[in-house]
Structure 1
Amino acid sequence: MDTNEGIHALFTSLKRYLASGQFADLTIRVADEEFKVHKVVVCGQSEFFSRMFSSDWKENVNNEVKLGEVDPSAVEAMIHFMYGIDYDSSGSGRGRVSPVFFNTQVYALAEEYEVQKLKQLAKEKFATSVRACWDMDDFPPVIVEVYNTTPSADRGLRDVIVNTCVEHIEPLLLKEAFLDVLESCNHFAADIARQLALKPGKPSNYRCSQCGYA
């Protein structure tokens, strides 16, 4: 068996144990749902959980973690990623949501629980969805969500938003919802102004009527 076959066999086994709950030694609860998982898998990819179960936290004794106000679909996406399963950007059977919004939630969750590779994947999926929906009605609320859920030093999603908006600034400025976000979200407006100042100007079509030079 070569290395690739061995890795494939490992992830196949992990998926089977996740689905069956066999040998699970940790329960993650969110809202009214629970996920039976394995510490070695979760702690191996999350610095947050690794610290938790390397200390005397009560969760270490009870083998149960209760998460706060988090979308269960986003938690499921994080767990699936840990077990080598790609997540659906539209959420799950609990209810379909906008891909751009869902990837924002997964990114924030990956940041909170320190799952760096998931954070990178969520950013890539977010960028893909933004390119497809920048002119849709749900785009302005996503801008607000990104700026409310990420610190100013975390440029991952913010740069995707800003670069996309600058690229399409003229049609976006015709949308009232986008103008409302510019007025209400000062950090976003500042980022847009800064990026526009760095953007090369369009070549002028003006031609002098006297000398004929452009």
Structure 2
Amino acid sequence: MDPKPIEAFGASLQEYYNNKCLSDVVIRCEGQEFAVHSLVIFCHSDYFKKQLTGPWKESQDKIIEITDFEANIVEAMLRFVYSFDYDVPPNTPPMIFHAKVYQIGDKYGIETLKKQALNNFKRVVESAEVTTEYASDLGDAVTTVYTTTPPKDRGLRDIVMNSSYWRLRQLITIESFKESLPMNGDFSTDLLKAITSRSGQGEIHTCSCYMCKTKFTMRIDSLADNASFFVPVIDENSYFNNTTLSDATIRCGGKDIAVHSLILYCHSEYFKKQLDGPWKESSDRVIDIADFDLTIVEAMTHFFYSFDYEAPADTSDMIFHAKIYQIADKYGIEALKKLSAIKYGTSIDAGWNMGSFPDAIQLAYTTTPPGDERLRTIAVEAVTERIGTLINQDAFCKMLSANSDLAINIIRRLHGESEKSREELQKCLQDKLWDEQRLSLGKPRRRP
């Protein structure tokens, strides 16, 4: 299955982790330096954004020093902002590592990293078997969680408390876990409250059916599985056509659109070569587009930042999506081609009886090369289904006479369906004749 547009973009963005190409900031920790891109960390963290744009030393030097976390925690944070995931280093207790990643996400206001670290932490805590090693790691994790999170932040605290509660019968027999209790008074208090309030039973909740609204009580003996999440790296409203951190311009129809090279590079090899090669665009940082309307170029640029686009209200959706497919094909933006093809198919089905239908069908053939069958197949299927009505329309017939490739494909499709229908009819007649012969011989009909 092909990746979704945002997943494909994310895969490209990963290539720029700790990559000096287009990097404009350095994060330094324990003697290690990480090359980063302001645009990427701005989208994840207002903390870093204020550091690099405010009246601070970091804003001038473009260097951020991190001294209160280990380098592998900082590395995990940076890997996440480029790939939405991170790995636990070898020979490192996962519980402790995820708890510290949660801590750095909390300090720098990276909510998505906190959620990812919490999910990872919960999976490790709840899925592992209770062993001596597990009990020791859990005790250390309790210490880390309760010393690095405020009392009102119940995320990690509830996980270790609930897991300890449900496994207390096993854990209380292991010395390392028992030793952790007096060292963590707040945790011991939370655990004691759970024991006394639940009295050995599961949590009782009052629930209601979302359809009939009937109320009932339910005992919940374990926590539910985590739901997965994925958050786009780019906030369209913040950075689309925004000169902040912009280092390139797309110019069309007398209008300049501020863009960011890193975003273009992740979507299009064509633009990457233009801005990174021995060309005028590379030195001027301006890409002139003269063979498409401004609305088409703006839609393409919107897609770069939001993975979607909308057709203007005063245009034909069918024609607009066909032209978006054309610009995506020219600039090698495969994800945009797939999206525009889907939108084209939907709009063709909805608007086949509109006056712009013949032109939209024609565009599928005049703006795509012969080997690119994606739009052509959609167009042929739409026409074939309605050929009985369309063939009586002058505008459609005029368009058809000017596009021999389209006419040939429609004939082939109709002939193929006719042949299929003929074969099915012949088989049906043969089956009926065979049944009649069996009946004449006193034998029952065959089973269907």
With the shorter chain as reference, the TM-score category is: 0.7 to 0.9
Once the two structures are TM-superposed, the CA of residue 33 in structure 1 deviates from its matched residue by 1.1
Q: Which residue of 1 aligns with 2:261?
A: 39
- 1:201 matched to 2:421? The reply is yes
For 1:5 and 1:17, locate their aligned partners in 2 and report how far apart those are by CA, in whole Å: 22
**Relative contact order higher in (CA < 8 Å, ≥ 6 apart):** 1
For 2:306 and 2:319, locate their aligned partners in 1 and report how far apart those are by CA, in whole Å: 22
Name the amino acid aligned to 2:421: G
The partner residue of 1:187 within 365, 387, 405 is 405
1:56-71 to 2 correspondences below 5 Å = 56-71=278-293
For 2:367 and 2:390, locate their aligned partners in 1 and report how far apart those are by CA, in whole Å: 23
For 1:118 and 1:32, locate their aligned partners in 2 and report how far apart those are by CA, in whole Å: 24
In the alignment, is the contact (CA less than 8 A) between 2:241 and 2:257 conserved in 1?
A: no
Deviations 1:29-59 (A, max 9, x none): 0111110000000111011111222311110
Deviating beyond 2 angstroms after TM superposition, the runs of 4 or more aligned structure 1 residues are 1-8, 17-20, 200-204
Q: Root-mean-square deviation (CA), in Å?
A: 2.1
Deviations 1:53-101 (A, max 9, x none): 2311110000001011211111111111111252112x2xxx7200001
1:71-150 to 2 correspondences below 5 Å = 71-89=293-311, 91=312, 96-150=314-368
Moved more, 135-144 or 162-171: 135-144
For 1:65 and 1:100, locate their aligned partners in 2 and report how far apart those are by CA, in whole Å: 27
The partner residue of 1:49 within 271, 277, 287 is 271
Q: Which residue of 1 aligns with 2:18?
A: none
The partner residue of 1:23 within 236, 239, 245 is 245
Deviations 1:118-148 (A, max 9, x none): 0000000000000001121110111222211
Q: Which residue of 2 aligns with 1:211?
A: none
Q: Which residue of 2 aligns with 1:7?
A: 231
Name the amino acid aligned to 2:231: I
Residue-pair matches, total: 199
In the alignment, is the contact (CA less than 8 A) between 1:31 and 1:69 conserved in 2?
A: no
**TM-score, structure 2 length as denominator?**
0.42
- Structure 2 residues not aligned, in runs of 5+: 1-113, 117-227, 426-448
Once the two structures are TM-superposed, the CA of residue 15 in structure 1 deviates from its matched residue by 3.8
- 1:155 matched to 2:378? The reply is no
In the alignment, is the contact (CA less than 8 A) between 2:242 and 2:259 conserved in 1?
A: no
What secondary structure, in the 3-state scheme, does the structure 1 residue paired with 2:277 have? coil
What secondary structure, in the 3-state scheme, does the structure 2 residue paired with 1:201 have? helix
Highest CA radius of gyration, 1 or 2? Answer: 2
What secondary structure, in the 3-state scheme, does the structure 1 residue paired with 2:306 have? coil
**TM-score, structure 1 length as denominator?**
0.86
- Structure 1 residues not aligned, in runs of 5+: 205-214
Name the amino acid aligned to 2:115: D
For 1:34 and 1:54, locate their aligned partners in 2 and report how far apart those are by CA, in whole Å: 20
Deviations 1:171-195 (A, max 9, x none): 1111111111221111111111111
In the alignment, is the contact (CA less than 8 A) between 1:26 and 1:36 conserved in 2?
A: yes
For 1:6 and 1:189, locate their aligned partners in 2 and report how far apart those are by CA, in whole Å: 45
